[in-house]
């Protein structure tokens, strides 16, 4: 069984006798396909040598914040970003206190401070140290900040006492890690295709018709879908945004180019999310030369662009299809009508025209509709909304499977 295939786990080991159990944990994680990078505090090296973890993980163990050689490879900030999960096991009382107070005077604590990745601790210490109100308060602080706390278990301790404070067993920790990835990566193994940004419809070589879409919503959704474990391909109109990590990006300009790029891939995708603000019309004939201002009035003939979303939704082998509806009035009514007409699995409606949300803003509010259900996602930054929408899409996608 390879349930953790290619999962990138940074395993922090701090000074405690349970460090010997973490050697087995590394083995168990490798056994299920995980990529494990061990980082040790100086105190941890007093219990087990770095060579042990190096042999088991197949990666050089990182020890020192000020090691110029190691930093020249993957620096501590890159390490912090590399991980999909940071697990401190064993987490000593001292290390938990340092984490709670944001200290950064060794590699592991600096890494935790520099990381925005999910962090879990597996406390391991003497039962009195565990029960001490200082430790309890530190753990509570960490939990409130979203740190996962796994254990401790109770039983006989290395010091001879009996009580709470034993590190969970490697197999128990591995189960928790698998659960974590299942919860945190609801799109694992799925292919997601996203259209994003505006399109540009050429009038002549210097002029075009476009709209106010900034691409931020689509890019936020691509980021969230990749973080949820999906293989993400994004077909984007011209926007000056950086490509999210792990996302394949295909740049296009016009609606016709977007149509082709999307249709080429739509049959091989599990979920299609159309966030692009595709121009409804293009110039019937784009002039090959710059149009001169010789006429007093100028009429431009336009013709309809194909509806990418409706075309994908009409495919025989269609993916789970999600559309957007940007409306200035009667938002829900128009959106639900669009959902039915275009035969969509879900539609995310938003009000445009207000200054604090929608086009050209970093914030938005969505109201998501599907057959027999709806959910409001209140005003928030687009990154947060992207995550919430992806979680909802994953839920509905899975529900449809059964």
Give the interface with ligand C5P as residue ranges (CB under 6 A). Answer: 195, 255, 274-276, 278, 305, 307-309, 323-325, 338
- The CB-of-221 to ligand C5P minimum distance in angstroms stands at 11
**Using CA atoms, how far apart are residues 131 and 239, in angstroms rounded to an integer?**
54
Of 173 and 276, which has the nearer Cβ to ligand C5P? 276
Query: Which residues does 115 contact at the CB level (< 8 Å), separation at least 6?
Result: 80, 81, 83, 86
Of 26 and 274, which has the nearer Cβ to ligand C5P? 274
Of 174 and 342, which has the nearer Cβ to ligand C5P? 342
Of 115 and 254, which has the nearer Cβ to ligand C5P? 254
- Please state the φ and ψ torsions of residue 52, each to the nearest 5 degrees: -60, -50
- The CB-of-277 to ligand C5P minimum distance in angstroms stands at 7
Spatial contact of 17 and 92, defined as CB atoms under 8 Å apart: no
Integer CA distances (angstroms), 100 to 9, 149, 151, 153, in order: 21, 13, 17, 21
Of 38 and 312, which has the nearer Cβ to ligand C5P? 312
Of the candidates 139, 159, 185, 233, the residue annotated as catalytic is 159
Closest C-alpha to 124, from 12, 9, 14, 26:
14
Of 44 and 262, which has the nearer Cβ to ligand C5P? 262
283: three-class secondary structure by DSSP = strand
CA angle 280, 285, 288 (to 5 degrees): 125
- The CB-of-86 to ligand C5P minimum distance in angstroms stands at 36
- The CB-of-179 to ligand C5P minimum distance in angstroms stands at 34
Closest C-alpha to 117, from 7, 263, 20:
7
Our CA dihedral for 171, 168, 41, 105, rounded to 10 degrees, sits at 130
| Residue 327, H or E segment | strand 320-327
Cα 54 to the chain's mean position, in Å? Answer: 29
Q: What share of the chain is helix, strand, coil (3-state, %, to 5)?
A: 35, 25, 40
- The CB-of-268 to ligand C5P minimum distance in angstroms stands at 18
Of 95 and 324, which has the nearer Cβ to ligand C5P? 324
- Please state the φ and ψ torsions of residue 331, each to the nearest 5 degrees: -55, -50
Query: Which residues does 312 contact at the CB level (< 8 Å), separation at least 6?
Result: 262, 263, 266, 272, 274, 318, 319, 321
Residue 112 a catalytic site member = no
- Please state the φ and ψ torsions of residue 240, each to the nearest 5 degrees: -85, 50
Enzyme catalytic residues:
159
């Amino acid at each position: 069984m390879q349930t953790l295939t290619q999962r990138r786990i940074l395993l922090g080991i701090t000074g405690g006798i349970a460090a010997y159990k973490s050697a087995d944990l590394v083995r168990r994680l490798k056994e299920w396909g995980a990529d494990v990078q061990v980082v040790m505090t100086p105190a941890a090296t007093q219990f087990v040598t770095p060579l042990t973890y190096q042999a088991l993980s197949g990666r050089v163990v990182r020890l020192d914040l000020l090691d110029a050689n190691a930093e020249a490879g993957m620096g501590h900030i890159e390490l912090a970003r590399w991980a999909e999960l940071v697990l401190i096991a064993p987490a000593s009382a001292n290390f938990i206190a340092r984490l709670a107070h944001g200290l950064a005077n060794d590699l592991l604590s600096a890494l935790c401070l520099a990381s925005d990745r999910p962090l879990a601790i597996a406390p391991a210490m003497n039962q009195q140290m565990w029960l001490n109100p200082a430790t309890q308060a530190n753990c509570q602080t960490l939990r409130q900040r979203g740190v996962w706390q796994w254990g401790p278990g109770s039983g006989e301790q290395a010091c001879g006492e009996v009580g709470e404070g034993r590190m969970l067993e490697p197999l128990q920790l591995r189960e928790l890690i698998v659960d974590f990835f299942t919860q945190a990566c609801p799109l694992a193994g799925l292919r997601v295709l996203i259209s994003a940004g505006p399109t540009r419809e050429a009038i002549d070589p210097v002029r075009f018709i476009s709209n106010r879409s900034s691409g931020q919503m689509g890019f936020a959704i691509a980021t969230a879908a990749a973080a949820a474990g999906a293989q993400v391909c994004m077909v984007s109109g011209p926007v000056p945004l950086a490509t999210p990590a792990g996302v394949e990006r295909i740049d296009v300009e016009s609606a016709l180019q977007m149509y082709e790029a999307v249709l080429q891939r739509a049959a091989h995708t599990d979920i299609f999310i159309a966030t692009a603000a595709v121009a409804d019309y293009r110039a019937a004939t784009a002039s090959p030369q710059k149009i001169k201002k010789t006429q007093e009035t100028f009429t431009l003939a336009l013709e309809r662009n194909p509806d990418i979303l409706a075309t994908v939704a009409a495919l025989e082998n269609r993916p789970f299809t999600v559309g957007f509806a940007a409306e200035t009035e009667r938002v829900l009514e128009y959106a639900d009508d669009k959902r039915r007409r275009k035969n969509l699995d879900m539609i995310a409606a938003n009000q445009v025209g207000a200054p604090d949300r929608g086009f050209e803003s970093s914030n938005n509010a969505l109201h998501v509709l599907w057959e027999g259900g709806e959910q409001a996602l209140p005003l928030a930054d687009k990154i947060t909304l992207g995550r919430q929408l992806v979680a909802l899409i994953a839920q509905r996608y899975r529900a449809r499977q059964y």
